[in-house]
Structure 1
Amino acid sequence: MKDHYLILAGLGLATLIMAWLPSVSKKIKVSSPIILILIGFLLFAADIPLPWPDPLWADRGLMYFSEAIVIISLMGAGLKIGTKYNWKSWKRPLLLVFVTMPICMGCSYFLGKYFLLLSLPSSLLLAAVLAPTDPVLAADVQLDDPDREKKYKGKIRFALTAEAGLNDGMAFPFSYLAVLVAQAGSWAAFNFTEWLWDKLLLKIVIGIIVGLLIGRGTGLLLIGFHRLTGIKTFDGFLALSLTFMTYGLSELLHGYGFLAVFFAGLSLRYYEKVSGDYKQKMHDFVHEVERFLLVVWIILFGGSILNGMLTLTDWRAIVFALIFVLLVRPLAGMIAIVWGKRESFKEKLAISFLGIRGIGSVFYLSWAFVQFDGFEFKNELYAITAYIILISIIIHGFTAPSIIRYFKRKTEKERQQKNIPAETE
C-alpha cells in the first residue's frame, strides 16, 4: 500500500504544480513542458514507484495512451479556431501541410537511409512519424482562446494551430506506406495503387466528411433539442464524449479519426447558432483533460530518458535531431510560405521555426509496431524519436514564449498607432 500512496502523492504534486504552471511559464518565458520534464526527472530520481518505461513502453499501451492525448488535443484545436479566419488565412497552414510536410518527410527519409543507415521500411517509418507537428506540446504557441471574435492572437498562432490540426491526420497514410512496404518486403512487391486510392485518398476524404457531419449535426442537435424540449445542454463534458465518438465512428467507417476529430471541432466552432459561451466551456473542459494527461505523459517520458532510452542509439541520432529541428523544418517552412506578401520575414521565420514535434510522433511509431512487429531498428527508432522530442522541447521551450511575446507586443503597438482597441481586430 505504501507504493500506492507514493504514486498518488507524486502524481498529485505534479498536477497541483500544473495548476500554476501556465502562469509561471509565461512569467519566466519558458514553456511548461520543460518544467514538467524536470519534474519527471526528479520523481524518477526519488524512486517514486510509477510504472516507468524500462526504458521503452509496451507498444500497445503507448499507442492507446498517446492516441487519447492527441485526439483530445485535436478537438481542442478545432474548437479554438473561429470564423474570423477566411480562405486567405487558411492558405498558410495548407502550404505548411502540402509543401513543408513532404519536404520534411523526404529529408527525413534520405537522412534516415544514408546517414542513420536504417533500412528502407524503417527510413520510411521515421519520415512518417516525424511528419506531424504536435498539437499537445505546442499548446504554448497555438491559439489559447476560442473566442476569436473578441480577441485576436495573431497569424502565427493560427497558422501553427491549423497546421497541427491538419497534418496529424495527413501523416497517417505515410505510416501505412511504411507498414505496407515492410509487410511486402520490397518496393516491387508493394501495391502502390491500392495505397494511393485507399489509404491516401479514400480514408482522408471519409475522415473529413465524417468530422464535418458530426460537428454540424451536434450543433443542430444542441439547438433543436432545446427548441423542442426547452432543455438546454451546457455541459463541457460533451466535447470529450464527442471526441471519442467521432474518432471511433470515423475509424469504423474507414476514415482517419484524427482528421475527423479536428474537423468535428472546427465544424462545431463554425456553427454560430451554438452560443460562444458554450463553445468556450467545451474548449476549457477538453483543455483541462489534455493538461492532466500531458502531465502524466511527460513525467513518464522524463523517466524513460533517465532510464536509458537515449542510449539505444548512437551519436548520429543527436546530429540528426539537431539537423531536423534547426535546419530541415525551418527551411522547409520558409520554402512553403516565402512567396507570401502579407507577412514580414520575421513572421515567416517564426512560423517555419516553431514546428514542434511530440506525442503524435510517438503514437505513429507505436501504432506501426503494433501493426507489424517485423521492423528492424525498433529500439533505434524509439530513441531517435525521443531525441527529436527532447531537443524540440528544450529548443522551442526556451524560444517560443519570447517569440510569441515579441509578436504580441508588436501587434499591440501597431493597434495603438492606428487607434484600434486591443480587444478587436
Structure 2
Amino acid sequence: MEDARFGFDAYHILLVALGASLLVSYWLPHLLVRRPPAATAFLMACGMAGSLLFPGIVAGINPTENPVIWEFAAEIVVIVVLFATGLRIDDLGGRRLWWPTVRLLAITMPLTIAAVALLGWSLAGMTVGGAILLGAVLAPTDPVLAGDLQIGPPLEGKEHPVRFALTTEAGLNDGLAFPFVYLALHVASQGSDPALWLAEWLAWDVLYRILVGTVLGGAIGWLLGRILAVPAWNTVAASGPGVLALAGVFLAYGLVELAEGYGFIAAFVAGLVCRRVEARHRIHQHLHSFASSIEHAITAILLVLLGSVMPSLWPYLDWSHTVIGFGLILVVRPIAGMLGLLASPLSLRARAVVAIYGVRGIGSLYYLGYASTHVEFIDDGELWAVVAFTIFASTVIHGLTATATVEMLDREYAERGSPESDRGVEIPRRE
C-alpha cells in the first residue's frame, strides 16, 4: 500500500486556508483600527490570496463548472437572512414610511436592470439573454452584506427612515428580481421575439409567482407566530430554541416553491407576518439571533470561497466588465436611486445614502447559479467573472465606508430628536 503519510490533500489545505482567512479577516482589523470596517472585503481578499498560494485547492468549486454548489449554498444564506430581516422590523409604520421602498422597487430596480443589460449588450458584447440576466442578477440590493446599514435586531427600536428603506428594499427586491431572471431564461431559450413568451411570462412568472409567494408566505408566517408566541403560557414562547427560525424558513420557502411561487418573497413575508402576531414578544430575539448566527457563518465561508475562485475567473474578465462593475456601483445605482426617490419624504442626504448604498452580494450568486443550471448561456464565464468582480468591488467600496456612514446618520437623527417623528408613528418603549 502506498504510504500516504504527510500527504497534502487539497480539501484539508482548503480547510486550513478557510480557517486562516476567517481568523485574519475578523481579528486583524480589530487589532489595527479602533472602529474596524465590515470584514467582507478582507474575507474575499484572503480567499484570493489563499488560492494564489495553493492554486489547486478550489478546482472542484469553480462556478463555471459546478454552478449548482453556489446555487444551493447561496440559497440557504438568502432565505435565512430574508426571514430574519422580516423579524427585525419593530413597527410597520404608515404609507409615508413605505413610499421610498415602493419607489425603489418600482422605479430604481427596473432602471438598474435596463442600464446594466444595455451595458452588457453594447459594451461587453453579450447576447440579449445574457445581458438581461446580468441586469437581473446585479440589480437587487443584498440583505446579507448590507446588515450594517439596516435596522437593528427585534425590540431595539430607533429605526430611522434610511435604515428602514434599505432594509425593506433588500427584503423584497431579492424576490422581485426573479421575474427578470425568468425573462432572461425565456429570451435565451426561445429567442428575443416577445410573441413567443410575453403572455406566459406576465401571467405565470410575474403575477402568479409573486401572488403565491406573498399570500402563502403571509399565511405560514401567521401560523408560525400563533404556534410560537400564543398563548402567553406557551413554554416554547418563553424559552424556545432559535433553531425554530429554520423551521419557519424551510416551511415557508419549501411550500411556496412547491406551489411554484417565489420562495424569496415568502421567506421575507413570513418573517414579517410572524413578528406581527405578537410584535413585542422576546421569542423574536431568539429566532433572529439564531438565524443571524447561521447567516454570518455561511456568508463568511461563501465570501472566502468566492475570493478563492476569482483567479480562475480572471481569464474571462476584461476592461468592459470592470467598467460595468464600477459603473453599476458608482453611477447606475446612485442615479437610478436618486431618480426613484425624487418624490420621497426623505431629505437630500438621506436619499443619497439610500441611493449609493445598493450593496451587491450573495443573492447575485444564487440567481446566476440558478440560471446557469437551467439554461446554458454562451456568456457563462463572462457572467460569473463580472458578477464576482462587482461583488468584490461592492465589499470594498460599501463595506469599508458603511460603518462611518451609518454612525453619521445615527448622530444626525439623534440630534434632530426621535427619528420616529419622521415616520408618522409612535413606537412604544420596549420592556
Amino acid at match of 2:358: G
Q: What SS does structure 2 have at the residue aligned with 1:146?
A: coil
Q: 2:240 aligns with which of 230, 234, 240?
A: 234
The answer to whether the 8 Å contact 1:222/1:233 transfers is no
For residue 117 of structure 1, what is the aligned residue in structure 2?
A: 125
The answer to whether the 8 Å contact 1:63/1:367 transfers is yes
The answer to whether the 8 Å contact 1:92/1:337 transfers is yes
**2: CA distance, partners of 1:37 / 1:300:** 7
For residue 408 of structure 1, what is the aligned residue in structure 2?
A: 410
Within a 5 Å distance, the mapping from 1:281-292 to structure 2 comes to 281-292=286-297
**1: CA distance, partners of 2:65 / 2:106:** 32
The answer to whether the 8 Å contact 1:169/1:256 transfers is yes
Shift of 1:17: 5.7
Shift of 1:402: 1.5
The answer to whether the 8 Å contact 1:40/1:299 transfers is yes
Question: Could you list the per-position Cα deviations for residues 212-235 of structure 1 after superposition, in whole angstroms to 9, with x for gaps in the alignment?
Answer: 001100111224577589985511
- Using the TM superposition, name which of 14-23 and 80-89 deviates more: 14-23
The answer to whether the 8 Å contact 2:81/2:143 transfers is yes
Question: Could you list the per-position Cα deviations for residues 3-32 of structure 1 after superposition, in whole angstroms to 9, with x for gaps in the alignment?
Answer: 465444444444556776897799435222
**2: CA distance, partners of 1:194 / 1:13:** 49
The answer to whether the 8 Å contact 1:129/1:364 transfers is yes
Q: Which TM-score applies when normalising by structure 1?
A: 0.90
**2: CA distance, partners of 1:354 / 1:171:** 18
Question: Could you list the per-position Cα deviations for residues 31-72 of structure 1 after superposition, in whole angstroms to 9, with x for gaps in the alignment?
Answer: 220122233234334539754544745111111111111111
For residue 350 of structure 2, what is the aligned residue in structure 1?
A: 347
Shift of 1:303: 0.8
Shift of 1:408: 1.0
Amino acid at match of 1:338: L
Within a 5 Å distance, the mapping from 1:102-251 to structure 2 comes to 102-147=110-155, 150-188=156-194, 190-224=196-230, 234-251=240-257
The answer to whether the 8 Å contact 1:75/1:264 transfers is yes
**2: CA distance, partners of 1:333 / 1:411:** 21
* RMSD between aligned residues: 2.9
The answer to whether the 8 Å contact 1:10/1:48 transfers is no
Shift of 1:317: 0.7
**1: CA distance, partners of 2:234 / 2:44:** 50
The answer to whether the 8 Å contact 1:72/1:243 transfers is yes
**2: CA distance, partners of 1:100 / 1:181:** 23
**1: CA distance, partners of 2:126 / 2:239:** 53
**What is the aligned residue count?**
416
For residue 31 of structure 1, what is the aligned residue in structure 2?
A: 38
Change (3 A) 1:184 1:412: same
The answer to whether the 8 Å contact 2:25/2:46 transfers is no
Question: Could you list the per-position Cα deviations for residues 115-153 of structure 1 after superposition, in whole angstroms to 9, with x for gaps in the alignment?
Answer: 221111111111111121111111121123121xx4314
Within a 5 Å distance, the mapping from 1:270-419 to structure 2 comes to 270-272=276-278, 276-305=281-310, 307-340=311-344, 342-373=345-376, 375-415=377-417
**1: CA distance, partners of 2:102 / 2:212:** 19
Shift of 1:424: 6.3
